Structure 1
Amino acid sequence: MFFASCASCLLAATLAVSAPAAAQSATPGAASGARAASATQAMGTTSGAGASSADNADNAGSAGNADSAASLDNEFDARQKVLDQRTEENNYRYAVAEHDCYSKFFVNHCLGKARDSMRSVQADIRKEQLALDGEQRVQRARERDEQAALKRAQDEAGAPQRAADEARNAQAYEDKQRQHQLDQAQRAAEAPQRAANAQAYQQKQQQHALDQAQRGISPSQAAANTQAYDQKQDDFQRKLEQARQQGAQKAQERVEKQQSFEKKQADAAQHKADVEARQKQAAEKAEQKRQDQLKQQQQLEEQQKQQQQQQ
């Protein structure tokens, strides 16, 4: 009687709590077997492929192929999804079994069986999860080793260039340090002269202020005088620059005149040479003409002598 009253109380409580879940457990209860079977079959195939995935991971790691590494990552993701799905289905079946147990007479015995079944499946899933995690750790360690080997190879290949760059940088740094030391030494050597110049300038300023005070010149008058002096200096510099420009222009004009004079002298010398050449040619022609006339006269005289002799 006591067990019957307890069973009726538990049945009322479970019906009040699980009334919305009854509609869900009708279809998922039937579909859960199919999903469990499909999940078990998928895990059977993936677990069968799990032994060979390690070899594939070894081959991919030794070959260093990015495509094979990506395919292994995809395989790991697919196996992880299957394990997650099996875990969800196991939890769902346990929840359904737990819910059904509260409607039975031996509640604790039913709950214990459901819990044992759930833990058995959970242990299998845990075993496969540990195996998958181990394969993933091996794959990640292999990828890290490959990346480390690739980086070492790159470092070894770039070592001569880095050594040359470091040597060049070290030489440049030493040159800069030596130049800096030379500059510091030069500044230290010039420091007394700079201090003497600054002191002399201050003394001149003080003496100038004393002279202006003695002459009764106010600071405003001194500023006006300074401005007038600066204006005079500017005017002088401007006039000096104008004089320089005028001197340069006149020098250019003198050069041009000298060149023109030399050209005229050269033209006059050439004209004189041409005149003398023409005069010489005229004298030679006149002498030739005179010689011709003398020859003609001599010939004429000889002809006359011959005629007289013939008579």
Structure 2
Amino acid sequence: MSRRPFLTLPNSHFFLASRAAAVVTTLAAALVAVSVSAPALAQNTPASSAAAVTGGAATYDTAGASAVQPDDTNNFDARQKDLDRRSTDNNYRYAVAEHDCYSKFFVNHCLDSARNEMREKRAVIRKEQLALDDEQRAARAQKRDEQAALQRAQDAADAPQRAANDARNAQAYQDKQRQHALDQAQRTAEAPQRAANEQAYQQKQRQHALDQAQQGIGASQAAANQKAYDQKQANFQQQLDAARQQGAQKAQQRVENQQHFEQKQATAAQHKADVEARQKQAAEKAREKQQQQLQEQQQQQQQIEQQKQQGK
């Protein structure tokens, strides 16, 4: 790395005072900006694969940062907070060092040294951030795989019951269809007998009326008999109409039951198709995301190798 030529500061006290005041102002603004934006620095670092982090767990900087213990590898929140704290501390130390450099004779050399130290620590923090991101992605992927496996196991466990329910519903529908066919056949077979019974009844009524007339029953008795006959006929007609209405209602109910069953079967088939489509879509998205992550890992590896080559 080329070193900037040393800058010889003038001996003017006014120049030193003005430069010191400017540095103090800049340092105050930098501290405010660091306190606001530093927690997001580690979060905004681009992710890369775990393969990009060689040599195992990277060591922390010598500024008193604590190392991540093996039993804390799953404590992502604590590790992220630690990285954020170290990033903020690194920026703060750089701002302080930059401020102190303006009180030294070799300002540029001091600034370069402070900047290089800050960049080295930032690179270490960034490498650990990449490793943490990889572990978080791996944990999320493992959780998704476990949930998918549990769902597949649940579906497989429920498959026999669903098949049994479908078979039972199909058998019940077939039984109802057969019973309906039997009832219809029975009504068709009994139709001639019902017609014959009706005809015999009408004949009997007519014969009764003739017998009454032949016996010379009085007009009042004949009227009463006629009224009773009419009432009986009306009652019979009401019963006949009620039976027909009840038969029509039962037929309508059978039609509605059939439609409801067909609708239920269609809904179940559509639901099964939707579930399969969502599972297929989820699998496709998972494959695409895995490919994208692999590409990002390869690109990140290439960038790290290029940075290493440029550093050499």
Alignment TM-score > 0.5, same fold: no
Q: TM-score range by the shorter chain?
A: 0.3 to 0.5
- With structure 1 as the length reference, what TM-score do the two structures score? 0.38
> When you count helix as a share of all residues, which structure comes out higher?
1
Q: Which has the higher contact order (CA 8 A, sep 6+)?
A: 2
- With structure 2 as the length reference, what TM-score do the two structures score? 0.38
